[in-house]
Amino acid sequence: MNLTAAPHVPDHVDPALVVDWDYQRDEKLSQDPYARYAEWIAAAPAEVVWTTANGGHWMIMRNAAIVDALQSPELFSSKHTAIPPRAGSIKLIPEELDPPEHTKYRSILNRRLGPKMMKFFDARTRHLANALIDAVQTDREADLMDALTIPMPCSLFLEMVGLSTDRTREFVGWKDELFKGGDAERAAAQAKIVGMLEETIADKRVNPGEFDLMSFLIHEGRVDDKPISQEDLMSYGFLFFIAGLDTVTSLMTSCFAYIAQRPGTQERLLAEPRSIPDFVEEMLRRYSVVNPVRTATQDFNWRGVRVRKDDQFVCSTVIADLDPAEFSDPLKVDVERAENRHLGFGGGPHRCVGSHLARTELMATLQEVLPRLPNLRIKPGAQLTYTPGSLLGLASLPVAWDD
């Protein structure tokens, strides 16, 4: 007798579209999530499929359809960023708002995170990257995630909200509890981050910093012609914590892992520093990180499927960037792709507001670190594995280098 109940599939879903792919927990994801996603893309029975995993939701399997969904917030709301929706989390501004509300909160950030500010962040990144490498360079081996790619964006986040980088390690601990802990740990980490943000906001109200984002939002930010409320300042701060740390860590780790596994790549990038931006762009495509989620605002028919209000969709940037209809030989890293219109930073109104900052961090770190770790390679015998979850990233990066 089979005691396993068949997963429930809602009546409005065509049985021909049903799969059981779990983009959060599938066991093959820890070996090579990109190969696994490529298998799903190849096996998809249609451009939009229904998976029975995670309580049941849609997965969009083609680049063009993902772009369409991300650009149609009137049908695809950003009100939940998790599948299934998570209760009790702080509202993320502007990520969980839809236009026109979203636009008011987003445009303030564009002013502070646009290209003009990048000179400042470039200089800070170079300084922080060198300080982190100073601490390990003579060891000739390290887990590069512990040594560099985790603390780097954390330190920059601290500077961005106007706090001392002395607290980086403490913050890394909170971040791990928040992203990887169980419910109790997550709640405790959230409480600590909230406490830190409250302290920072109180301090910056009376002691504004010259460059930090929090001082800017407090003293210059306006929504509907009013100063930004305390509650909204907290939401902004919390989103920066969530959006700008693991994403950069993941991409930066992928860059160093790729280089460490392919002899000659480091030398080529050093000999031709002008190729670093193209390299970073191709890594943003090939090793995309984020799986944005959208929720149907109403019942509608779309690309051959019947959608019901509150159905959830994964609009994966990984799937979009590995779609062979958009990128030939998508698993290959090809820095000379003629058109690299990747979706690594998403698309539509929520396209990453930190994209300039992320690119600056990635390029400046590579430029500073590659000359300091000659003959960078994976430590003999080490196996690279990925942490399963909705955001893709390596679990560790054990490397060695020469004097």
Closest CB to ligand HEM among residues 266, 288: 288
Residue 367 CA to residue 151 CA, distance in Å, equals 17
**Longest C-alpha distance within the chain, in Å?**
70
- Which string of x and - marks every residue 105-144 that binds ligand HEM (by CB under 6 A)? -x------x-------------------------------
Q: Which stretch binds ligand HEM (CB under 6 A): 13-21, 204-212, 285-293, 390-398?
A: 285-293
List the structure tokens of 376. 């960078």
Between helix 183-206 and helix 230-243 the angle, nearest 10°, is 120
Q: Which of 189, 233, 243, 399 binds ligand HEM (CB under 6 A)?
A: 243
Placement of tokens 């930010």 in the chain: 221
Closest CB to ligand HEM among residues 13, 69: 69
257 is a contact residue toward ligand HEM (CB under 6 A): no
Q: Which of 33, 56, 330, 346 binds ligand HEM (CB under 6 A)?
A: 346
Q: Which of 47, 95, 98, 281 binds ligand HEM (CB under 6 A)?
A: 95
Q: What does each C-alpha distance from 175 to 142, 149, 193, 244 come to in angstroms?
A: 21, 14, 9, 11
Q: Which of 214, 251, 318, 366 binds ligand HEM (CB under 6 A)?
A: 251
83 is a contact residue toward ligand HEM (CB under 6 A): no
Residue 300 CA to residue 48 CA, distance in Å, equals 14
Q: Which of 51, 63, 77, 78 binds ligand HEM (CB under 6 A)?
A: 78
Residue 284 CA to residue 352 CA, distance in Å, equals 13
Closest CB to ligand HEM among residues 344, 398: 344
Residue 302 CA to residue 236 CA, distance in Å, equals 33
CB-based contacts of 193: which residues, under 8 Å, 6+ apart? 174, 178, 238, 241
- Which string of x and - marks every residue 26-65 that binds ligand HEM (by CB under 6 A)? ----------------------------------------
Contact 362, 287 (CB under 8 A): no
CB-based contacts of 56: which residues, under 8 Å, 6+ apart? 7, 8, 9, 10, 50
73 is a contact residue toward ligand HEM (CB under 6 A): no
292 is a contact residue toward ligand HEM (CB under 6 A): yes
Could you tell me which of 129, 149, 22, 93 has the C-alpha nearest to residue 353? 93
Neighbours of 314 (CB within 10 A): 24
CB of 272 to ligand HEM, least distance (A): 22
Closest CB to ligand HEM among residues 162, 354: 354
Neighbours of 278 (CB within 10 A): 15
* E-strand stretches of 74-208: 76-77, 141-143
Backbone dihedral angles phi then psi of residue 384, each to the nearest 5 degrees? -85, 130
CB of 160 to ligand HEM, least distance (A): 7
- Which string of x and - marks every residue 185-224 that binds ligand HEM (by CB under 6 A)? ----------------------------------------
Q: Which stretch binds ligand HEM (CB under 6 A): 33-41, 192-200, 345-353, 365-373?
A: 345-353
CB of 80 to ligand HEM, least distance (A): 10
Backbone dihedral angles phi then psi of residue 158, each to the nearest 5 degrees? -60, -45
Q: Which residues bind ligand HEM (CB under 6 A)?
A: 70, 78, 94-95, 106, 113, 239-240, 243-244, 247-248, 251, 289-290, 292, 317, 344-346, 350, 352-354, 357-358
